[in-house]
Amino acid sequence: MSDIASLDLATQTRDLLSSLGVDDRRLSAQGLAITVRSPVNGQTLGHVASATVEETNAAIERAHGAFLTWRRIPAPRRGELVRLLGEELRANKDALGRLVSIEVGKSPSEGLGEVQEMIDICDFAVGLSRQLCGLTIATERAEHRMMETWHPIGVVGVISAFNFPVAVWAWNAALALVCGDSVVWKPSEKTPLTAIATDAILRRAITRFNASGDAAPDGLAELAVGGRETGAALVAHPRVPLVSATGSTEMGRIVGRELASRFGRAILELGGNNAAIVTPSADLDLALRGVAFAAMGTAGQRCTTLRRLFVHSSVYDAFVPRLKAAFSSVSVGSPLEGHLVGPLIDHAALERMQEALAAAMELGATVHGGERVDVGAPQAFYARPALVETPVHDGPVLDETFAPILYVLPYDDLEDAISLQNDVPQGLSSAIFTTDLREAELFLSARGSDCGIANVNIGTSGAEIGGAFGGEKATGGGRESGSDSWKGYMRRATNTINYGRDLPLAQGVTFDV
């Protein structure tokens, strides 16, 4: 292993950004600036200017102006811009993927996977741009027709989190743009560089779009790098009818309340406390791989990360020791050098992990792993994934700790396991490992998992973009990405048209003047 502390990620970052067309002066901001560090070795990558509230409000006004023009452009033409964005992302996949790996600490494969997710949603949105369909509905009145139409809603605020610093923007932006909306994006203050790079990629797509005879208005997609106040400005602004926010439940509670007070719309994608059930009929080899990736991949920092595992008593001794061996042997270290488990995002994340483990031990749990791993860079925070055999479904087991901790509990009755899996505040993702049709169908039924995502024989994480993504309860209830999530980015109008010469009133009401 090379000396991780002396890896010059700052120079690599500058080179990557300049290859993506970002002026390197963006990294040397003075005054109100955010310091960006790589979690891989703690090195400072640069200082990025932070938007003031006035600047954020000005961006929102520009985006509102852009919306007034953009909504008049036919949806399939709007789709052409997103098609070009997809092309630019394909052309810059390696550089952007590498930058994701450096800024977030993901493995190269996961960094590239994140950009692939952006490309996929662009492809999806291009097709969608010709399918923003409403219904035609039977009316009770003669010579009338009733239908619904979908119209652009306005400026869409996007607040994204550090762990998927660019894919989540793409889920929202690709849909919003084909739907005729403009976008103002506040990325996580921990990951502004990948946002700046993505913005540069989008600019190139816009230039090509305009060169082909179309005109994307100025302000169509704004980037507002900043902290809490920037997000608050987006949430408060009356010209932002919809905010799509990804992050903690605590953040979502504030955003949801603020938006509700002005009747703004929210798409909230908040915490998950995802569980899987391993039943007696499970293919244990497959379950082992599914559980390992879901629990340890991305160092446990996905909202879909597997955090709780219910294993049937009859297979507990055959399965859990193998899982423990996987946890204790998985390689922890620089993801840029091939290790599967990379760093936590910062010191606070490591502290929260240690606090959760201590709390679990207080409640009688046995903790395997979980210790800090010294990689020779004091400002980087790596931990061995923790497998926690807990006698109680309580305390930290009920919280989402954004770190690789898997709580394991035995069960005897599937219905009990399902009710325990549902007995947490969050409701994002869930899985069952079984080859028994009855068990699988029960899990997917109305009496089964209460989550927005319920899988059979795959883990809880790594959803494709084609399905709607989101969850229930404290996860916030929003849906992004595929299926008919686009409807959240448009307003629906019901239209009744009378093509006759009479004026029959609905419900048989008479009013003869």
Using alpha carbons only, give the angle 101, 105, 106 rounded to the nearest 5 degrees. Answer: 60
Nearer of residues 120 and 222 to ligand UN1, judged by Cβ: 120
| Under rule CB under 6 A, residue 201 binds ligand UN1 | no
The DSSP annotation for 366-382 comes to: EEE---EE--S-TT-BE
* Cα dihedral 396, 402, 403, 409 in deg (nearest 10): 40
Identify the bridge partners of residue 48 per DSSP, sorted by sequence position.
34
Nearer of residues 116 and 354 to ligand UN1, judged by Cβ: 116
Please answer whether residues 283 and 430 qualify as being in contact, where contact means their C-beta atoms are separated by less than 8 angstroms: no
Closest CA to 305 of 436, 423, 159, 459: 459
Q: Write down the catalytic residue from 222, 269, 400, 480.
A: 269
Q: Give the separation between CA 304 and CA 286, rounded to whole angstroms.
A: 19
Burial zone of 464 (CB within 10 Å; 0-12 exposed, 13-18 middle, 19+ buried): exposed
Nearer of residues 173 and 200 to ligand UN1, judged by Cβ: 173
| Under rule CB under 6 A, residue 162 binds ligand UN1 | no
Nearer of residues 75 and 453 to ligand UN1, judged by Cβ: 453
Nearer of residues 15 and 250 to ligand UN1, judged by Cβ: 250
> Closest distance between ligand UN1 and the C-beta of residue 394, in Å?
25
> Closest distance between ligand UN1 and the C-beta of residue 281, in Å?
26
| Under rule CB under 6 A, residue 302 binds ligand UN1 | yes
| Under rule CB under 6 A, residue 13 binds ligand UN1 | no
Q: Give the separation between CA 321 and CA 112, rounded to whole angstroms.
A: 32
Strand segments (E) across 272-331: 274-278, 306-312
> Closest distance between ligand UN1 and the C-beta of residue 449, in Å?
16
> Closest distance between ligand UN1 and the C-beta of residue 93, in Å?
16
Q: Could you say which residues in the range 241-270 bind ligand UN1, by CB under 6 A?
A: 246
> Closest distance between ligand UN1 and the C-beta of residue 29, in Å?
27
**Selected binder of ligand UN1 within 462, 471, 476, 477 (CB under 6 A):** 462
**243: helix, strand or coil:** strand
At 32, the amino acid letter reads L
- Other Cβ atoms closer than 10 A to 334: 25
| Under rule CB under 6 A, residue 303 binds ligand UN1 | yes
Show the tokens assigned to 27: 């990294």
Query: Nearest residue to ligand UN1, using CB?
Result: 463
| Under rule CB under 6 A, residue 426 binds ligand UN1 | no
Q: Could you say which residues in the range 98-117 bind ligand UN1, by CB under 6 A?
A: 117
> Closest distance between ligand UN1 and the C-beta of residue 247, in Å?
9
Count residues contacting ligand UN1 (CB under 6 A)?
12
Sheet containing strand 182-186, edge to edge, reads 221-223, 182-186, 155-159, 242-246, 265-269
Please answer whether residues 191 and 277 qualify as being in contact, where contact means their C-beta atoms are separated by less than 8 angstroms: no
| Under rule CB under 6 A, residue 304 binds ligand UN1 | yes
**Active-site residue 337, yes or no?**
no
Q: Which stretch binds ligand UN1 (CB under 6 A): 11-19, 32-40, 300-308, 498-506?
A: 300-308
Show the tokens assigned to 510: 């008479």
Identify the bridge partners of residue 411 per DSSP, sorted by sequence position.
312
> Closest distance between ligand UN1 and the C-beta of residue 237, in Å?
24
Q: How many helices (H) and strands (E) does the chain have?
A: 14, 23
Q: Which stretch binds ligand UN1 (CB under 6 A): 55-63, 103-111, 161-169, 311-319?
A: 161-169
Measured over the CA atoms of residue 261, residue 262, residue 267 and residue 269, the dihedral's sign is negative
**Selected binder of ligand UN1 within 56, 273, 461, 485 (CB under 6 A):** 461
Question: Using CB under 6 A as the criterion, what x/- string covers residues 179-198 for binding ligand UN1?
Answer: --------------------
Catalytic residues: 269
- Site of interaction with ligand UN1 (CB under 6 A): 117, 161, 163-164, 168, 246, 302-304, 461-463
